[in-house]
Amino acid sequence: MIAELGLAILWMAAALAALQLIAGSLALRPEGRALIGLVRPVAVMQGVLVLVAFAALITLFVTTDLSVKLVADNSHSAKPLIFKIAGTWGNHEGSMLMWVTIMAVAGAVVAVIERRLDEATLIATLAGQAFISLGFYAFLLFASNPFARLAQVPEEGQGLNPLLQDVGLAFHPPTLYIGYVGLSIAFSFAVGALVTRNVGPAFARAMRPWVLGAWIFLTVGITAGSYWAYYTLGWGGWWFWDPVENASLMPWLAATALLHSVSVLSSRDALRTWTVMLGVLAFSMSMVGTFLVRSGILTSVHAFAVDPQRGAFILALLAIDIGGALALFTLRAGTVTEGKRFAFISREAALVFNNVMLCGILGIVLIGTLYPLVTEAYGVKVSVGAPYFNPAAAIFAFPMFAVMTVGPLLRWRKDRLTGERSARTTWPLLVCAGVGLAVFAGVELAARDITILPALGLAIAAALLPASLLPLVGRNLRRTPLPVWGMVLAHAGIAVSLFGMASESAFSVERLAALSVGEARDVGPWTVRLQGIMPVAGPNWTALEATAAASYAGAAPIMLHPKAETFTNPPGTRTESALSTRWNGQLYVVLGEHGADGRWQMRFWWKPFVPLIWIGGAMVALGGLLALAGRVFADLRRFIAKAKIAVRRVDQGR
Amino acid sequence: MIRLLAAALLGMLALVSPVLAQESVAPAPYAYRQLADPEQEARAKALMITLRCVMCQSQSIADSDAPIAGDMRSEVRQRIARGEDPEHIRQWLIARYGDFVSYTPQVKPITWPLFAAPVVILLLAALLLRGRFARTPPAGEGDRA
């Protein structure tokens, strides 16, 4: 019953999306004015309905209704509740329903709260949003129905891939999807502004919170995903240039560029076409990411769906949405003027330069990810990995970091680095550059076997960190606006993260050992002693758990418990590494197999400063949050002030 | 596609059944053992992280539990210990498993676009930036530094 209800409600939501598109398009013409009041309520209702459909699917998973094919294929009655819920989106159909849900709810929120934008642009935006949604509704209803029943009800479900039964992963897909969908809103705003020829600061201000929000979620999603890979895959790696990781990195890069460009547009009325282009690009990358992950075109841990028909469907959606947006852009490009001009040395120029560099990195990641698919079409299988991505991306990343040190200190429109401004910008920057050079020289002298990229990374991080704090110098800290704090924190986060990455790749120590109980092994400054092995059991797994005493430089030992887990439904194994975190790094301990000679395979890594990678990522996300909070508070204040003025006017009887 | 599926299935099978793995003949002595000489081990490690585990999904042989990755690690370490050149080992593996095994793309006609990409993107970026800055600066702006 719940399944049928869910499906019916999903059809109704799709019908409302169609109504939203038609009413919205008609309302933009003079003869369709009467329909203008219809669009907002329809958008809200669509959001509510699809939310109910999604709740229906979650209910089916929670109650393990095995007559539903999706539940039988992906769930199991003995699974802990949280993974039953997370199982809802741990598969193709459920994740697409979640995508549509987030999209419709976001559309509803826009319909409810957005009041600053002129009505026509907003209606066009909601119509654009409905257009994109319709494509995904069609995909769900015709090619991936999540509510399909089975003719024969199985005894028990297939269960969920053990790798996915992890709290971190339970919330990884929703986070990324919110990011992707936030970019779809930004895209719809861009389309709406193009339709009504209204690309300007008002449009940028309406779009900015959505871009910021999407970007925060993408940042959190990527950071958390990287940490998840680090602690579950059991070999200490944290980024693999896996196509699915790239699928989340590409929208992030585009969103980062868009975020900065939107700021320029809203405060300086410059970069109009550029912002619209980036809006289209950012959502295109979300679609490309979805296509790569959901079409099963990749052989990767994440590609659960192996069905070319679905791939073709998403590819068609991608072509229609992006092709349509680009066609509209070409038609209207003549009416969108470039906006205000700026000099070569100005904050706008620095932002444009870094936007172009971000797009360069994006280009490298895109080509490196897609190229193996191209050659495979010609019958040649090649792999593109870190040895290509790292140096090719560095060509663009390092100049970008260099400009990042300068940019926030420059003035809008026009600045100079000599004369009275040199005390404020040039000299402090030279000091930062000196710090970077000193670190580079120190690293090269102290450890000659370090390759060039990590050495450069350490040096640039050392220069970027102090430089990113410079915008606060000379300001009254209590009166510094939140968005400035946000920028400083996010830029410092990039430096911190870069330092962690460079340090991990330069200084990690690896030790593989076969140990009998009681034996010890050194790894870097640590000594790790295997003290015992115990069998333990969970709700749907059994495991061997080692007790290892780790002592740092002779200090009192810390007990660590790495596990090797075995799952039965579906059968699989998972290593649960044990981590010991210090201020200067992390010890990573893994229990491997039991050797024929009775000894235990163990793996140890000492990774200096590795947590900084994710701490930096968290700082970046927090910076985004501060900026968003600052913008929202400012809007609220303006709203309240306006309301007060209105009230006063009424009181005075005007 | 079928071949891929088969490979994936085999990989999964190998992953889920340590018993099978233990029964496999020809034990790989250096799968989970490092070379005694740290310099040689560093060289082996640098090579291993650029070799793909052909049974796994997007993992190098340096971070995979699959038996074939273990065999390949052992092979690489033994050859490095014998003083073989890392690039030579890579070519030997490519001859056996195809280009797919190397995460470092080999320069060949089919991969030229991959290596041209950074240059092309750089040129595009330069064009884009030039187009933006080469125009007339804001009024009253004569002294561009």
pLDDT in tens, B38-89: 888 888 998 999 999 888 777 888 888 888 888 899 989 999 999 889 999 9
Q: How many domains is chain B partitioned into structurally?
A: 2
Q: Is the pLDDT of residue B142 over 60?
A: no
Question: Which residues in chain A touch residue B143, judged by CB atoms under 8 angstroms apart?
Answer: 416
Contact B103 A385 (CB under 8 A): yes
Ranges under pLDDT 50 in chain A: 300-306
Among B residues 34-53, those touching chain A with beta carbons less than 8 Å apart: 34, 42, 45, 49-50, 52
**Res B1: pLDDT:** 42
Whole-angstrom Cα distance, residue A263 to residue B66?
Answer: 48
Residue B63, in any domain of the structure: yes
Contact B16 A573 (CB under 8 A): yes
Q: Between B36 and A9, where is the model more confident? A: A9
Do B92 and B111 share a structural domain? Answer: no
Do B117 and B65 share a structural domain? Answer: no
Do B92 and B44 share a structural domain? Answer: yes
**Res B13: pLDDT:** 44
* Tokens describing residue A570: 């579906």
B66 by Cβ neighbours in 10 Å (0-12 / 13-18 / 19+) ranks as: buried
Residue B142, in any domain of the structure: no
Closest CA to A149 of A66, A74, A215, A273: A66
Do B127 and B73 share a structural domain? Answer: no
Do B78 and B116 share a structural domain? Answer: no
Contact A368 B114 (CB under 8 A): yes
Q: Between B71 and B25, where is the model more confident? A: B71
Nearest CA of chain A to the CA of B133: how many Å?
6
C-alpha distances (whole Å) from A557 to each of A427, A530, A550 are 48, 12, 5
Do B120 and B75 share a structural domain? Answer: no
Beta carbons of A613 and A497 less than 8 angstroms apart? yes
Do B60 and B35 share a structural domain? Answer: yes
Do B73 and B127 share a structural domain? Answer: no
Whole-angstrom Cα distance, residue A491 to residue A493?
Answer: 5
Residue B140, in any domain of the structure: no
Of B99, B103, B144, the CB nearest to A343: B144
The number of C-beta contacts closer than 8 angstroms across A and B is 148
**Res A307: pLDDT:** 57
In sequence order, the 6+-apart residues with CB closer than 8 A to the CB of A171 are: A86, A224
Of A367, A375, A414, the CB nearest to B141: A414
Nearest CA of chain A to the CA of B86: how many Å?
14
**Amino acid at residue number A139:** F
Do B84 and B14 share a structural domain? Answer: yes
Closest CA to A163 of A467, A516, A545, A576: A576
Contact A382 B110 (CB under 8 A): yes
- Max intra-chain CA distance, chain A: 94
Residue B138, in any domain of the structure: no
Do B82 and B15 share a structural domain? Answer: yes
Whole-angstrom Cα distance, residue A325 to residue A335?
Answer: 15
Do B114 and B92 share a structural domain? Answer: no
Contact A300 B32 (CB under 8 A): no
Whole-angstrom Cα distance, residue A370 to residue A243?
Answer: 8
Closest CA to A177 of A240, A86, A239: A86
B132 and A CB contact within 8 Å: yes
Do B85 and B64 share a structural domain? Answer: yes
Residue B87, in any domain of the structure: yes
Residue B141, in any domain of the structure: no
Residue B114, in any domain of the structure: yes
Backbone Cα Rg of chain B = 23
Whole-angstrom Cα distance, residue A434 to residue A142?
Answer: 61
Domain residue limits at B67: 2-101
**Res B21: pLDDT:** 43
Whole-angstrom Cα distance, residue B81 to residue B43?
Answer: 10
A419 DSSP assignment: G
A309 and B CB contact within 8 Å: no
